[in-house]
Amino acid sequence: MTCAGDTALLSVRDLRTSYRLQGAPRRTLEAVHGASFDIHAGGIVGLVGESGSGKTSLAHALLGLQRQCSGQALFDGEDLLRMKASSLRAVRRDVQAIFQDPLASLSPRRSILQSLLEPLDHFRIGPCEQRPNRAREALEAVELDPNLATRYPHEISGGQRQRVALARAMVTKPRLIIADEPVSSLDIPMQARMIGLFRRLRDRTGVAILFISHDLSVVRRLADSVLVMYLGHILETGPARQVFEQPAHPYTQSLLKAVPAADPAHASPEILAGETPSPLTPPPGCVFHTRCKEALPDCRRIEPAIQEAGAPEHCTSCHLWNP
Ligand code: SF4
């Protein structure tokens, strides 16, 4: 059973990615284990989990940056996992990316205008003479002064650089943005501004967003639906309000208890005990059983199937929800 629906802009089924370990030709590390989910046009899907949970590997598989994959990731009916490199380059007009470090997409040697022109030139979008105007409009769309176009990345603040990276991703008018920890390096006020900006861009343009973050409080403020990932497995999915207000999986419950309360007079955060097991030797059965306070004997040997968790489209992978 999968909780993912039938029609979507991006439809991912049983996606697995693995890495061959250097010096050990027969050993592989499975970074993503059978991920299935949908992203609909104009939807914001939050992907949360601790560091090392496989979030970035999943993003890299969808972006064609990690090719050792199986399963399916249909974007407009085309499987991103099986596209030739030339087709993947072409689809990047519609599927753009933004990363934690804006310098991953902005060259320090290029002015902001030059960085914004590059995708327009590459995809030959609009007449040449109109492209500089389009680049300045992209800066305005991310609420920056278009006069910044003549500056270089080192001449603007970190928050401005991240908005320029977002402008560069938006300048081709993509249908999907994969945003990997895009606000993690920003201070709290700047995070709040970026979250508002992502939402306004989605409302104005209808772009869908896969928003990846280790920070649940960030995802809570932005996402329509949520995927919770642990050790390469998606353990819970559902509408954001449902997942945050009635989390079904013990891991999600632990993550939420670890978020500091806005009011310090309230209960102090409870840190999830224990270390995440090595992905090289994942536990048998439920991958969370070594840290789960509610583990049952079966949890150590039987992997739970994903199933509905008391509400439509809210699903979890936990034996506690077995009928
Ligand atoms: Fe805990 Fe068992 Fe549920 Fe895993 S399947 S989360 S170990 S109760």
Taking CA atoms only, the protein residue closest to ligand 1 atom 1 is: 295
Number of Cβ within a 10 Å radius of residue 94: 16
Confirm or reject: Cβ of 296 under 6 Å from ligand 1.
yes
H or E element that contains 31: strand 24-39
Ligand 1 mean position, distance from CA 42 (Å): 33
* Distance linking the first and last C-alpha atoms of the chain: 14
The whole-model pTM stands at 0.93
The whole-number pLDDT of residue 274 equals 83
CA atoms within 13 Å, Cβ hemisphere of 298: 8
The tens place of each residue's pLDDT in the chain, 323 residues long, gives: 344 445 799 999 999 999 888 776 677 889 999 999 999 999 999 999 998 899 999 999 999 998 899 999 999 889 999 999 899 989 999 999 999 988 877 899 999 999 999 999 999 999 999 999 999 999 999 999 999 999 999 999 999 999 999 999 999 999 999 999 999 999 999 999 999 999 999 999 999 999 999 999 999 999 999 999 999 999 999 999 999 999 999 999 999 998 877 666 666 777 888 888 988 889 999 999 999 999 999 999 999 999 999 888 999 999 999 76
Atom number, ligand 1, closest to the C-alpha of residue 296? 2
Which residues, in sequence order, are CB contacts of 115 under 8 Å at separation 6+? 105, 106, 107, 153, 164, 168
User: Is there an atom of ligand 1 within 6 Å of 54 CB?
Assistant: no
Does ligand 1 lie within 6 Å of residue 295's CB atom? yes
Q: What is the 3-state composition of the chain as percent helix, strand, coil, each rounded to the nearest 5?
A: 35, 25, 40
Q: Is the CB of 302 under 6 A from ligand 1?
A: no
pLDDT of residue 1: 39
305 CA from centroid of ligand 1 (Å): 11
Strands 208-213 and 44-48 come out as: parallel
Q: Token pair of 163, please?
A: 């908005």
Contact between residue 57 and residue 17 where contact means Cβ atoms under 8 Å apart: yes
The pLDDT, as a whole number, for residue 2 is: 44
Report CA(270)–ligand 1 centroid distance (Å). 19
Distance (angstroms) between ligand 1 centre and the Cα of 216 equals 21
Nearest CA to ligand 1 atom 5: 318
